[in-house]
């Protein structure tokens, strides 16, 4: 995927937290590994000495893209205000699936297409709550959340309809985290301690939804289906289903 420079937010470019990356195979699976853009040596997501400026990463990529360097990446650090949300299986023919559309609409911040063309990377301002950062949602999306110790590949292929800027979304990332990792508490009528109201929607399997939720609150969206369970989007606010963007 060709790198697009103009859409990458300036506040990310301004930070010296950039690497280049290449794809390697580990245990039979493709893996993206970071490289120090200053030296071309190994990069580490927890070692700022192996990061560089945006210009250094861009120069290294442009000089070596024919030698296995596949792109540039931004490293998340405890010293920055950013969190990244990685959505796998989010796009079909370049457009967000409904499951992904709901998440993108809720987060409302800079989002772009991942190098595979099938995923989405979302970057916001906010700190990730404790209690989990990776899960396969029943609608078929894979979601990972990071605010340190990882890097995101950056393509600059902005998702139309999403903001072009990195927005402050602390409340939204807390609500998303709560819904994904503590949804069982809400479904059983128990509130997670010290947390505010849940999102206006959640994703559950058909059997669980029919057993625990009031009739009339469930809509079935077959386009979200994947695997053995039929995906259901449970919407308490029908406005979130409007067309993307």
Which is the catalytic residue, given 86, 112, 147, 172? 86
Among the listed residues 14, 47, 55, 144, the single catalytic one is 144
Q: In angstroms, rounded to a whole number, what is the distance separating the alpha carbons of residues 233 and 91?
A: 17
Active-site annotation holds for 88: yes
Of the residues 36, 60, 88, 158, only one is catalytic, namely 88
Quote the CA–CA distance of 37 and 35 in Å, as a whole number. Answer: 6
**Active-site residue 121, yes or no?**
yes
Structural tokens at position 207: 């059997």
Residues in the chain: 245
27 is catalytic: no
**CA-closest candidate to residue 99, choices 235, 236, 237:** 235
The answer to whether 124 and 166 have CB atoms below 8 angstroms apart is yes
Q: Tell me if residue 86 is catalytic.
A: yes
**Cα dihedral angle (30, 34, 38, 44), rounded to 10 degrees?**
-150
| Catalytic member of 60, 121, 157, 177 | 121
Q: Which segments within 78-133 are labelled E, that is strand?
A: 82-88, 91-92, 95-96, 111-113, 120-125
* Contact call for residues 9 and 166 (beta carbons, < 8 A): yes
Would you name the residues annotated as active-site residues?
86, 88, 121, 144
């Amino acid at each position: 995927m060709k790198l697009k420079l103009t859409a990458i937010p300036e506040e990310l470019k301004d930070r010296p937290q950039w690497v280049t990356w290449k794809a390697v195979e580990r245990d039979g699976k493709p893996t993206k590994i970071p490289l120090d853009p200053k030296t071309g040596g190994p990069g580490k997501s927890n070692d700022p000495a192996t990061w560089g400026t945006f210009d250094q990463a861009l120069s290294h990529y442009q000089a070596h893209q024919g030698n296995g360097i596949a792109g540039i990446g931004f490293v998340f650090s405890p010293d920055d205000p950013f969190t990244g949300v990685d959505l796998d299986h989010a796009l079909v023919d370049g457009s967000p699936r409904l499951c992904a559309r709901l998440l993108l609409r809720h987060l409302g911040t800079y989002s772009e297409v991942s190098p595979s063309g099938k995923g989405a990377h979302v970057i916001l301002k906010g700190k990730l709550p404790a209690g989990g950062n990776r899960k396969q949602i029943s609608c078929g999306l894979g979601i990972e959340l990071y605010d340190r110790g990882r890097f995101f590949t950056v393509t600059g292929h902005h998702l139309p309809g999403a903001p072009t800027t990195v927005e402050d979304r602390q409340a939204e990332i807390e609500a998303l985290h709560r819904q994904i990792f503590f949804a069982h508490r809400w479904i059983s009528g128990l509130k997670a301690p010290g947390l505010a109201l849940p999102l206006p929607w959640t994703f559950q399997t058909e059997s669980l939804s029919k057993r625990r939720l009031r009739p009339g609150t469930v809509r079935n969206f077959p386009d979200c289906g994947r695997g053995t369970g039929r995906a259901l989007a449970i919407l308490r606010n029908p406005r979130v289903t409007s067309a993307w963007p």
